[in-house]
Structure 1
Amino acid sequence: MSAIALYARASEGFEARVAQAVERLRDAAVEHAGRIVQATSLGAEDMVITDLIARHALPIAIGTLETGKLHAETSALIDRIEQHYGLAVEVYRPKNEAVIEFVRTNGEEAMYRSLALRKGCCGIRKLEPLSRMLAERGAWITGLRREQSDARGEVPFRDHDDAGRLKLNALADWSWADVWHYIERHQVPYNPLHDQFMPSIGCAPCTRAIAVGEPFRAGRWWWEDETAKECGLHVHQEAAVVSAIGAPQ
């Protein structure tokens, strides 16, 4: 069964949520003209945002992180976006020497051995490339939604990261059904892994399918405690430090 058949449902207020998302994107594009980027993970939510940017001809750059550990199906979406929408995608990769040294020291499967090593891998493959994506930007756009997890339950539409940049969570109030209803209506390209019960898709070693009844992000870092399931991209620095060293006694 496809993800569209499984999840897409029309719901009350959908049209208003779409219009409000477009308004948020347009306002941010004006406010940060030439200095705003969508940091897309290439997941379903982010594909909706890319479609909104293209459909409304919004002057917002599109960037993604090619970590070197993505599924082939995820990487393939970069070309699909460029071909489908005629938009260029900025691709940021980890520094090769840092990856080589990390793997030489800790092995290819270091992420399974400890939380510190997993976060070290995320730091090299995701956080450092993201810092380059955002270096000259005043704002960035994410696909975070409140429904995704308890940790994201109070995600605001507008936030600021540790560098003071605007962080726009344009779909914060959308449901999973909203996302797929939009994808179905507008024939948005999406990752076929979503059809294999992977609602949240990250690097291949750190993603699995979820079972019926499991939380949305249960397939991400499934061997870790639920409270640790963030890579650091969406954690303020103080919270990231506490997470890495443990809560105060």
Structure 2
Amino acid sequence: MEQKLTFDQWSDQTQEELNNGFSDFMGVIKWAYRAYQNRILYACSFGAEGMVLIDLISKVTPDATIVFLDTDLHFKETYDLIEKTKGKYPKLNIRMARSNYSLDQQAEEFGDRLWESDPDTCCYLRKIEPLKKELANVDAWISGLRRDQSITRKNTQFINKDHTFQKVKICPLIHWTWEDVWNYIELNELPYNELHNQNYPSIGCEMCTLPVALNGDYRSGRWSGSAKKECGLHQD
């Protein structure tokens, strides 16, 4: 088996050695599934990068676990894409992770339209807590982060120590550009979220996502008008 790095075994030297050992994204994916086997999952938002990673992962591990954080607030187009993806990759274990709170329960305890009054708490209840539960039985997770998505992601490595969830976070696409992502989608005729055709480069919950102006920042449509830039999943 390949070297398996867990959160508790982490050292800066080990991280450097691992990251220096990779020359391409496919090598990272192959290493991840050889090292962690069934102790790894891919937390996928089903954005453009997500569809690329699903296709790449399916070539390495056809029955890999793919988790979607279903806030019950996503666009219809996102749910439609998930169903298309299940049909295209029937062996993948695609499952929905939901909050312990229904939207009605959340409104009763925290107030109506929490995504407006306290978006950080809304994200915590509907994204962070569900992912914590999913990660409880694995050692590592895969993310579609790319360095050019935002300034907060410019230092992301292939292999990262994730302090938020105390797991190893693997990001195979860190060097990909937005153009690379779309070239791959078009070349391989992958399904994708139709909202991408309407100036939605980054797609989250319907209430917190707007289209982006021409040549606008990739994530400027997320929590527009507020200082919030991340949902909290990627703090490291």
Q: Structure 2 length as normaliser, TM-score?
A: 0.85
- Return the offset for 1:105: 4.2
Identity of aligned residues (%): 37
What is the distance in 1 between the residues matched to 2:38 and 2:149?
30
Q: Secondary structure at the match of 1:140?
A: strand
- Return the offset for 1:145: 0.5
2:233 corresponding residue in structure 1: 233
Q: Which of 90, 95, 99 does residue 100 from structure 2 map onto?
A: 95
Q: Secondary structure at the match of 2:68?
A: strand
The answer (yes or no) to whether the contact 2:210–2:222 under 8 Å persists in 1 is yes
Amino acid at match of 1:77: L
1:95-139, Cα deviation, whole Å (9 max, x unpaired): 135x433312444423223xxx11110011101111111110111
- Return the offset for 1:55: 2.7
2:146 corresponding residue in structure 1: 145
- Return the offset for 1:59: 5.7
2:15 corresponding residue in structure 1: none
Q: Secondary structure at the match of 1:219?
A: coil
The reply to whether residue 129 of structure 1 matches residue 130 of structure 2 is yes
1:204 corresponding residue in structure 2: 206
Q: For structure 1, which segment, 193-202 or 152-161, has the greater mean C-alpha deviation from structure 2 after superposition? A: 152-161
2:8 corresponding residue in structure 1: none
Amino acid at match of 1:232: G
Q: Secondary structure at the match of 1:96?
A: coil
| Structure 2: runs of 5+ lacking an equivalent | 1-22
- Return the offset for 1:51: 0.4
2:50 corresponding residue in structure 1: 46
2:10 corresponding residue in structure 1: none
TM-aligned CA distance change 1:83 to 1:59, over 3 Å: closer
Q: Which of 163, 167, 170 does residue 168 from structure 1 map onto?
A: 170
What is the distance in 2 between the residues matched to 1:141 and 1:28?
9
What is the distance in 2 between the residues matched to 1:111 and 1:83?
32
Amino acid at match of 1:235: Q
What is the distance in 1 between the residues matched to 2:70 and 2:63?
23
The answer (yes or no) to whether the contact 1:29–1:58 under 8 Å persists in 2 is no
The answer (yes or no) to whether the contact 1:159–1:168 under 8 Å persists in 2 is yes
Q: For structure 1, which segment, 56-65 or 42-51, has the greater mean C-alpha deviation from structure 2 after superposition? A: 56-65
TM-aligned CA distance change 1:108 to 1:188, over 3 Å: farther
1:15 corresponding residue in structure 2: none
1:33 corresponding residue in structure 2: 37
Q: Which of 197, 214, 217 does residue 215 from structure 1 map onto?
A: 217
What is the distance in 2 between the residues matched to 1:79 and 1:213?
31
The answer (yes or no) to whether the contact 2:63–2:93 under 8 Å persists in 1 is no
Amino acid at match of 1:62: I
Question: For this pair of structures, how many residues does the alignment match?
Answer: 212
- Return the offset for 1:62: 1.1
1:70-95, Cα deviation, whole Å (9 max, x unpaired): 00111122211110111230211111
What is the distance in 1 between the residues matched to 2:172 and 2:147?
11
The answer (yes or no) to whether the contact 1:198–1:210 under 8 Å persists in 2 is yes
- Return the offset for 1:170: 0.7
1:140-169, Cα deviation, whole Å (9 max, x unpaired): 000100000111111111102124421001
Query: Which is richer in helix?
Result: 1
Amino acid at match of 1:93: R
2:59 corresponding residue in structure 1: 55
Q: Secondary structure at the match of 1:37?
A: strand
